Structure 1
Amino acid sequence: MTATDSTAREAERLAWARAASGNAALELHRASVDAGFRSYWRTANAGESRIVMDSPPALEDVRPWLRMRDLLEAGGVRVPRVLVQDIDAGFLLLEDLGGPTLAQVITEADADAHFDAAIDQLLKLQRIVPPPGMGEFGEALLQRDAGLFEEWFLRRHLGIELDCGEAEQLQLAQRRLMDNALAQPRVLTHRDFMPRNLMPVDDGPAVLDFQDCVIGPIAYDPVSLFKDAFLSWPLARVDGWLARYHARALEAGLPVPPRERFLRDADWLGIQRHLKILGIFARLNYRDGKAKYLPDAPRFIAYLDEVLPRYPELASLRELLDARIRPAMLRVAA
């Protein structure tokens, strides 16, 4: 979007918000922005605070967000309430769920209670029957995710060109991770169910950023919750939370495998997700000019360092990490 387009959109957004609220004195202040093209604006001079979602139609269609919001709400998941909508213009007036996300308020002392409430919402989400035609987290999506890591993180960010043997090492590990994901029971999957996308309201937490839900492996969202892209916890505590989720999922009648198998599945999906996110963060930096994500890359290397020693089957990935990736990260950081 050019500067002229941006200025025109700003004026259109404010005029729409004033008309939708019935308050000609209303002003808007930036509330948050995500990695896509949507932006969020908090009302001022308007009595009770509201949020305007701006989803420019030419860049990001708001209808998938609305369809998924309605599906989740019908399943009992706490999601933002829509007060006014204008699909053609790409504007929504939403309830204001407050400022801080769960990622900003959670502490070591209250993490158990917050995560238990998050599990409540996740179990509701996973019990929803996916509608016909919903996308799947299958072979094509997994292959795309695998390519992000090699193309953007290894090649573009670290300047690594793998030789034939190294490429085979990576492909072997990626294939095993993909086979594990494909073999898991399938449920409705958020794909970014993490504290940054949860709002700590009394009847929540409320779930955000759900428009890309797919049918996917049952362990994906639990491991996303506890091994966050922006917030890390000790491995022993993560293992305990995963076990807690597993027990509650069994009680809820969800198709989780036996506990030890589930914990392995979660570890392997975590590894797959960490590699994908490294690629996404590098792409956001180099392609989209969004530099704030890439500094979190060492967090994902630390996740890999924690879990890879548990699985000799993934030794080829560990060897690549030690021989090529870690030295290249030191060079880039120098």
Structure 2
Amino acid sequence: MTSSPDIDREDRRRAFLAQAGLADARRAPLPGDASTRRYERLTTPSGTTLMLMDQAPSAESPPADPSWDEARRRAEGWNATARLSAGRIEAFAAVAAHLKGLGLSAPEIVALDPESGLAVLEDFGEAVFARVIEAGADPRDLYFAAIEALARLHAAGPPPEVLDGPGGPWPVQDYDTVALQAGADLFVEWLPKLEPGLAFDAAAIEAWRAAWLPVVEAGAAGASVMAHRDYHAENLIWLAERAGPARAGMIDFQDAVRAHPAWDLHSLLQDARRDVAPELEAAALDRYFALRPETDREAFMRAYAGLAALNEARILGVFARLIVRDGKPRYAAFMPRMWDHLRRNLETRGLEAVARWFAEHAPGEIGR
């Protein structure tokens, strides 16, 4: 009789924890998200808490090798096409070390087995930005700390092409035209599967890509800083006892790439999961430009609106896929917010071609 993969995986977790001196730790699984990772909070007999991060290396298609061309990336699957890390533990460990080297808050790696996809991390606690704000904290304090962290990350300039992390080297690749356009294309691929009234023929898809081309090219050309890539109030932990930008504890940054500095800003300030008041968005942007006075604000804001719109189209496609393919209907609740952000961004000068595409091919959606 052969053992099940789940039992084999549990045996590996137990062996890893024993080797790390944590065999007696009490284990409490955390709720899952949209990824293939799982987390457990570990409580040692002394009361110290840690986090077990579990990402089987074989759970997803492979990440992109920097030497692969577009055809090879597409043949290898979504992670290679979009330049995602496939959740690799060594990616998380390498990015964490880089962030910590800049004085930013990433979890300490306590134990690591990259071949098995297991790590024990410092526990930042449960003060997720979104929950702290819901409990009555002034959102300006938290968002300004997150902005200060981004300003420091951007001031460091381009990250090394290869990070030397505790789990081994990890490449930092550009969020290039292939990855950006593939993200936008999730909209035309998955929205018709969620909304039967939508149908995009070959001509419509060709027009879609032509409309986005200036945004995609500008985003790729401006890839000059490390981007967390999923920087928002559910992936930031409030570390009130720390100072300045270190108060923003970062998690889930394993998909970091070299990208336009606007990317993480719009992820934070035009959040899919919670409303950010327009006046707070404006104040946070003012804070960023005050910390980065050398930035050409007008050009930056054109890129900000364009990349935000592209990301909102991408997220609408992701949510449609999660609902249709993965049976996760709760993501439908987030979609109206994304439509609102998209409508607002499409009023920006330079996005007229994209706005015309929506008016012609999805007028009912964009007009909601």
Q: Which residues of 2 match residues 45-84 of structure 1 at below 5 A?
A: 46=45, 47-59=47-59, 60-84=87-111
Q: 2:212 aligns with which of 164, 174, 178?
A: 174
Q: Which residues of 2 match residues 259-278 of structure 1 at below 5 A?
A: 259-278=297-316
Query: Aligned-pair distance for 1:328?
Result: 6.1
Structure 2 residue aligned with 1:130: 159
Q: Which residues of 2 match residues 194-273 of structure 1 at below 5 A?
A: 194-201=232-239, 202-203=241-242, 204-250=247-293, 256=295, 258-273=296-311
Query: Aligned-pair distance for 1:62?
Result: 1.3
Cα offsets for 1:272-324 (capped at 9, x unmatched)? 1111111122223333444433431111101112232343x434433444565
CA–CA separation in structure 1 for the residues paired with 2:256 and 2:203:
36
Query: Aligned-pair distance for 1:81?
Result: 0.7
Change (3 A) 1:4 1:295: farther
SS at 1:279's partner residue?
Answer: helix
Q: 1:120 aligns with which of 131, 139, 148?
A: 148
TM-score of the pair, normalised by structure 1: 0.85
Gaps of 5+ in 1: none
SS at 2:276's partner residue?
Answer: coil
Change (3 A) 1:89 1:184: closer
Which stretch of the first structure deviates more once superposed, 80-89 or 270-279?
80-89
Change (3 A) 1:61 1:285: same
Cα offsets for 1:10-60 (capped at 9, x unmatched)? 343245334423443x33111243432211101246321111111113224
Structure 1 residue aligned with 2:337: 299
CA–CA separation in structure 1 for the residues paired with 2:113 and 2:339:
43
Tell whether the 8 Å contact from 2:211 to 2:357 is kept in structure 1 after alignment.
no
SS at 2:362's partner residue?
Answer: helix
Change (3 A) 1:216 1:330: closer
Identity fraction in percent: 28
Structure 2 residue aligned with 1:97: 124
Cα offsets for 1:69-112 (capped at 9, x unmatched)? 11221122210011112222222111111124112212586111
Q: What RMSD over aligned residues (CA atoms) do the two structures have, in Å?
A: 2.7
Tell whether the 8 Å contact from 2:140 to 2:280 is kept in structure 1 after alignment.
no
Query: Aligned-pair distance for 1:240?
Result: 2.7
CA–CA separation in structure 1 for the residues paired with 2:127 and 2:359:
38
Query: Aligned-pair distance for 1:235?
Result: 2.6
Structure 2 residue aligned with 1:13: 13
Amino acid at match of 2:131: Q
CA–CA separation in structure 2 for the residues paired with 1:49 and 1:178:
43
The alignment covers a number of residue pairs equal to 321
Change (3 A) 1:119 1:237: closer
Gaps of 5+ in 2: 60-86, 163-171
Structure 1 residue aligned with 2:194: 157
Amino acid at match of 2:265: P
Amino acid at match of 1:114: L
SS at 1:195's partner residue?
Answer: coil
Tell whether the 8 Å contact from 1:55 to 1:62 is kept in structure 2 after alignment.
yes
